Structure 1
């Protein structure tokens, strides 16, 4: 007489469906203690209940079956703990993103009616060290982090201090076509020796409609929407790259509520007597083209 638990009994004990137990068996994640060679019936033991419960909890946290298999097959407890911690961190980041999206939706669905503050400024020519490249949209944030690390290293090697907050210029084809030109920079008083991808550039004077995005970057698109609406209603025509200046960002403080990102939308005014300007970068050593520029993804 068999003493093992049938798949039905094991399902009731563990709250894993028979279908899931079969799937986990096929994936090598939770194999039965015995399979009857003639009938194909699966039998489990009570010793397998804790493993099934662990799998159940990992699946509730959205962990892929393959990743659960890696954890269960790792004999070293410390290595297992690191794998679990890595996944939990991803879950926490996803929760933060979800909370931010919910908060943004609430603001959009119940608008406060607070008027947007937009300044029309002429930004003076600015010398800077910069890195530019054509970037795939989904890789913009990772590229930005790498580029800023390289710029920081260049300034440190030259013994130079930034002359202002860092920023970036972003091509609208990043969003319309999924790839486009991006340029990130750190202002400096004197030229730095170029090396690797780093170039000394001059950002020309640009007439901009500027507003400030306060807080985390998850909902920076809402601020772009408000700014774009203002520009459309004021009959100001968009021309040239969008500027972002990271007045206070993640590089300055982990407190996201303190972050401030200036968004500068290049414009020229359509009524008489007003000058026009675009914001393309003029470079001592070209790092790439700059033609039509959009709302970028959040960085700083």
Structure 2
């Protein structure tokens, strides 16, 4: 029999790790001295320990390893290895995406000699029920005049339907439907998020925005400079191989009075629904 310290040196596994393997039932010593508490191992345990180390090297959890050591069939072992293969492949895809993002940031800093004020992320957005008025506007700034029309159309349902702060007018957003940049005659909509459906009235329509993957960033400042946030997202979309699949959104997250386009207190999240572009080459 081999004392735990000598066994540790032999297999190059720390004593605390061997004790933990004993605690969880993965590799128990062949004998424990009742008077001293010393743990003793046997050379015959080396194959089991080597298999544990090999499976740990493949990234399996101790729970999975325990199951794989205790009588799994070759077909079960194959299934677990295939699952681990899929997990590793997914990790490679995610790591490659992160690497591309890092390279893009480096190129941007080298090109502009400064760090961008906008951090673009991908996020999943759940379906969203809204009340909106959509029309052709003379310019982007004119969308503000539509909010009063939407609010008035909601009428007596305001306290029930608007959220999260109906006493402050609820949470608003703007939708832009044009597929290319236009300075005039822009297709836009002013909208309120709804907690529940309300009757439609006049030009106001109630509908659900579908769940989507969004390329998003946050703009802190007046709407006079929000185009910088849009430019940052569009550059990110092109660099990372995505394409736009719906109208972009501007969600008003916070502001202090007065409600004016040039109010510098606005915090706005800009979102573009995207999907990975198909490479046809």
Give the alignment's TM-score, normalised by structure 2: 0.50
Larger Rg: 2
More helix by share: 2
